[in-house]
Structure 1
Amino acid sequence: MRRLVVPFVLVAVLSACTSTDQGSPTTGNPAPTTETSTGSPAGNRPKAVDLKALDPCSLYTDEVKTALGVRLVTPRDPQADYGEGSKTCSNNYENPAYSSSIYTLLNGGVDRLKKTVGEAKLTAVRVTGYPAYIDKRETGAGPACDVYVDANDGQLLLVNAVGGFGEDKTTVDGACEQATKLAMAVGPVLMTR
């Protein structure tokens, strides 16, 4: 019974953090709200978090793991491309169709993101009050989706999902659904750091 209650409580909490209008909470699906296809989401961050001091594995609380069916959380070697001091944490789900990772990007914020990924490829959204950007893509490993959360000036929290690990039915939209769920689940935890 406890396993059923925790996901419903988490969904209720996350739903309160999603808004379609600045400052007005909504209930229902905890998906991020799209505000523009290429511009910046309106408003500021609920809290600036220095990602240099953040261990991304600490964002996987017991509640997050239970709600999303996270089976295993593993620290990984940092990505050199993401700046000195960046950190990586990966996870596997009970359903093995997708896997996810959380990265701290310390070598540039939204302006750099728009230049490197391409502003036209990004969809601006809000994730638990934070300005964020979604990038859908196909990779050699399978369909993928990146959610870049604007956590601090010059720093981004990257939450991604990749599918295709022996699963023919994985899609880019499925990867985005998985990445978005994880971003929405760890967003409230990020605000406590």
Structure 2
Amino acid sequence: MKFSSDIKRYTDYSGKSKLLMLLTQQGLWALFYYRIFNAVHKAQLPKLLKRILLIVGVLCQKKVEIFTGISLPHSAQIGEGLYIGHHSGIIVHPQAVIGNNCNISQGVTIGVSGRGQYRGVPVIGDRVYVGANAVVAGNIQVGDGVVIGANSLVVKSVETNTTVVGVPAVKISDHDSQDYIL
């Protein structure tokens, strides 16, 4: 189950109990509702029932967004083991794709950008670390093991196992996310 992988990432980082993490971590609150309503979104249910459940889901997710500042739409594709280091100001586009075991810091936007063939939403690989206040936008691919530095603007595809920083983000090294992801 994907939510159990999310909780495991939180307990691995903190060394604290699952119950304490569930009670105190806003990122887990947002992930909890995301996982439930993403399952409804993917489920083969009668159309009317599914529509009603998703309306309830949008209301629940909006409540969580107001309390936590984290927007994880049920239609986004988010892999297991997501870790949200600090809450607030996190926006994920409904069509975004985020791989397994990624870390997202506070203030991150993963969204749509560009014109023509460049217009679109990012696809982010596995074990990607996204630093505080970074923006990842447009029809781009972010490879596995990437580190995106704080305050970076990523609008071009990023090679696997590299570190990028800046506005616009540029590759500064071949260091991967191994030191950032448990």
Question: What TM bracket, shorter-length normalisation?
Answer: under 0.3
TM-score by length of 1: 0.24
TM-score by length of 2: 0.25
Q: Larger RCO: Structure 1 or Structure 2 (Cα < 8 Å, ≥ 6 residues apart)?
A: 1
